[in-house]
Structure 1
Amino acid sequence: MCATRQTPDAGGQVADAVRGNWVDRLAPEAARPYLRLSRADRPIGTWLLLIPCWWGVALAASVDGWRIGDLWIVIGCALGAWLMRGAGCTWNDITDRDFDAAVARTRSRPIPSGQVSVRQAVVWMFAQMALAGLILFTFNGITIALGLASLGLVAIYPFAKRFTWWPQVFLGLAFNWGAVLAYAAHSGTVTPAAVLLYASGIAWTLFYDTIYAHQDKEDDVLIGVKSTARLFGAATGKWLGLFLIFTVGLMTLAILTALLPVAGPVKLGLALIAPWAMGWHLLWQMRRLDIDAPDTCLFLFRKNRDTGLIAALFIAAAAFL
């Protein structure tokens, strides 16, 4: 059954949050606007930022085995993804507050609805970044450098839809940086396999965020915001098919590049299930997609958590062999 978008209630619930989420039910009332600003009531974005990190550490571990320190990489990336996704969404809402006020799905967000002031949002953003920085500085030097470098991508993304029809590319560059970062956290270096894995994640982001953008295409036309959904229009299915091919193909190349020199056929075969199982899940999404049904678009977008976890599971399993 497709998830339906909700209307904000008197307590400040955001329109596209799942009804009955933990923020609306359990969080202290004073904290709710800030947690909503961080999208804590909509965790799919945190998953989509975290999963490439887990791909990266799992692929690196598949080369030379899991280490005790990898447990902290897995946990640290999860905490960092939650914090940096929150900081990124706060920055996005600060820069987009006028656009958000003009779109039905987003006008209930904390800044345009008046729950949080811009000044309060800025303080909250830096608080989240500071905590994420404490986690980042527990890793090795190259990982720290990569983490700091990612801030430029995070800063640019909210403005991309104002000057390019391909803002999803900028989202992909930012959201999949963790694949390289977590690979380096384990291995101490960046290899061609890590870069190929990163490229695969960018193609995946183009797939799922094009679906997501179809929710707002009518409002985007009115306010002049660009997106791949508007660019592709009725040809969206063909483009999604291309992104599917690139996602699967580039992840396959990443695994072959990493493991062919060191792995036996069983390990290699298990790892290679990851991109192809992921591809079948993307194909299932394409068959269900109706670009003119916003609720279906949101439902399928959220299903990409499962898509990414499928790949992470098989790569991680191969690392135990």
Structure 2
Amino acid sequence: MTNIFVDATVPDDDRRQKLYEGALFLYSPTPSLQSLVAFTRQLIEEAFHPFDPRTAQFELPVERYVDILAKLKPFFIHHPRSKELVRATLRELGCDPELTYFDVPRLRSATSNDYLTTGIAFAFHPHRDTWYSAPPCQLNWWLPVYDIAPDNGLAFHPRYFDEAIKNGSRNYDYYEWNRTSRATAAQHIKTDTRVQPKPEQEIELDPQIRVIAPSGGVTIFSGAHLHSSVPNTSGVTRFSIDFRTVHVADVSARRGAANVDSESTGTNLRDFLRVTDLARLPEEVVAPYDQAEAPPEHLIYQPTIVPLSAADLPADAARAPV
């Protein structure tokens, strides 16, 4: 059984434990989440101007659409304002800022009617984040930028939370992904040839849970949950934000959800930043999660940021450092 907690006022230690057991936590928009959504909309709408970003896919050739996303997404991801608002959100929702670490927020887009489903707008098949070298204690935070509907949101498949699935995670190494695949997303327009762990057996997608949150409402769930992008047939592009957190005590003690089927190697833990000061997790805490050595330059992905032109941005965003 999957328990769903709505606007629950529970201590973070209790919340994390329930999440590790498969619960979902939903929170209404907070001031920081509303600010994050407003900032994100501003960037999106300026980038797609003069088109409505939710319907721009019907106005633009796919190559031009990809070019816009290829500049917009990393600019948002690594913008200091994005990090600032995530940090404020975590404080508002009861995370200990000295002990909680987060990774940079991602901007996702899911176009409608199979316009673009690969590469930079990858439509995620059913998967667990643990297949992608996430630790058992990773928690995912997901929120829509615009209101969503049942046919363009996120789906959970709770039957498989504690049931193993044959999957391709044995072929996934996080450091190899950093070396060869993360920077090439925009090149995959028709097909996506990158290693993406998938189920290797038939799975039952129903019953499933679809959370229809308002714009800025956040869903928190364990990275061990099997979840997927709902095939978008809504007629509008879905834009969403997600980021992840870990608690340093849980990382050190190797607490978290049970690992029922992941065989991935490497770890994404070096990507996480402390809420208080953006320091990374201590190496002695991360090292036990490594199965093999890798060159230092592959342990943490270093993106190349392509600044958007001042004409494409609001003045305050254009002046901010990246």
Structure 2 length as normaliser, TM-score?
Answer: 0.27
Q: Which has the higher contact order (CA 8 A, sep 6+)?
A: 2
Which has a greater percent of strand?
Answer: 2
Greater share of residues in helix: 1
